[in-house]
């Protein structure tokens, strides 16, 4: 990946030690360029827009309200949205739901920062990176709330058997192409193609919605 193709990342966290640690980690990652730092939500919005950030790593609890900043950058109706990955110490489903409702495409716990590079790359590909242990409670909470708004169960028939198998693995908490590929003994490219086709056929916009779609149809069982 050339420099002009780099994923332009803004680090937004009020803890200078966390920002420094993330910068050091990302500075060694090929294809990722840290274009700035912010210590509050207001500055995060301003800098992300000014520096044409591709993605923001957003601490949800910093001054200036990380959730509000997420909505300003990526929320419903935002023109030219910027991808946001929420960073927090909270694994409770209520926090995850607030972040995704505000427009975040991913949710990474601070004790899981070793995954941050892979999460950024996944988000840039249009995936929804989630820390382990977050996906299943989140999916079931959305199911309880009944927020997916998808079509009748017969819509399962629109997917090919291969696509259905990939969606089933996603629904059961395997959120990366690599995990799904290993479970199905397929290549990563094949899994990516199957899930992209499933998204297109179902008319859904991201993998989190596709996983919820699967839960509503019993694919998690």
Backbone angles phi, psi at 20, to 5 degrees: -65, -40
Domain range annotation of the chain: 3-131, 151-216
CATH numeric code, 3-131: 3.40.50.2300
pTM: 0.68
Q: Domain 151-216 is of which CATH architecture?
A: Orthogonal Bundle (1.10)
Give the C-alpha separation, 63 to 44, whole Å.
11
From first to last of its 221 residues, what are the pLDDT tens digits of the chain?
444 579 999 999 999 999 999 999 999 899 999 999 999 999 999 999 999 999 999 999 888 799 999 999 998 889 999 999 999 888 777 788 788 888 898 889 888 888 899 889 988 887 778 776 676 656 656 555 554 444 445 567 788 888 888 888 888 888 788 988 888 888 899 999 999 999 999 888 788 778 888 877 877 66
Measured between alpha carbons, how far is residue 69 from residues 51, 92, 121 in Å?
16, 20, 22
3-state helix, strand, coil in the chain (%, to 5): 55, 15, 35
Give the C-alpha separation, 107 to 148, whole Å.
19
């Amino acid at each position: 990946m050339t420099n002009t193709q780099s994923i332009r990342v803004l680090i937004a966290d009020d803890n200078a030690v966390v920002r420094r640690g993330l910068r050091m980690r990302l500075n060694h990652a090929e294809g990722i360029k840290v274009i700035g730092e912010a210590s509050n939500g207001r500055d995060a919005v301003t800098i992300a827009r000014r520096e044409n950030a591709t993605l923001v790593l957003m601490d949800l609890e910093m001054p200036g309200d990380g959730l509000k900043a997420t909505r300003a950058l990526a929320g419903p109706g935002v023109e030219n949205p910027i991808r946001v990955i929420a960073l927090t110490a909270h694994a409770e489903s209520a926090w995850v739901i607030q972040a995704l409702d505000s427009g975040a495409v991913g949710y990474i716990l601070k004790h899981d920062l070793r995954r941050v590079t892979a999460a950024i790359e996944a988000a840039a590909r249009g995936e929804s990176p989630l820390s382990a242990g977050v996906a299943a409670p989140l999916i079931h909470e959305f199911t309880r709330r009944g927020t997916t708004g998808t079509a009748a169960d017969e819509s399962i028939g629109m997917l090919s058997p291969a696509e259905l198998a990939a969606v089933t693995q996603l629904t059961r908490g395997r959120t990366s192409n690599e995990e799904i590929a290993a479970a199905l003994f397929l290549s990563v490219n094949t899994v990516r193609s199957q899930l992209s086709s499933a998204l297109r056929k179902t008319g859904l916009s991201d993998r989190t919605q596709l996983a919820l779609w699967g839960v509503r149809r019993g694919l998690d069982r």
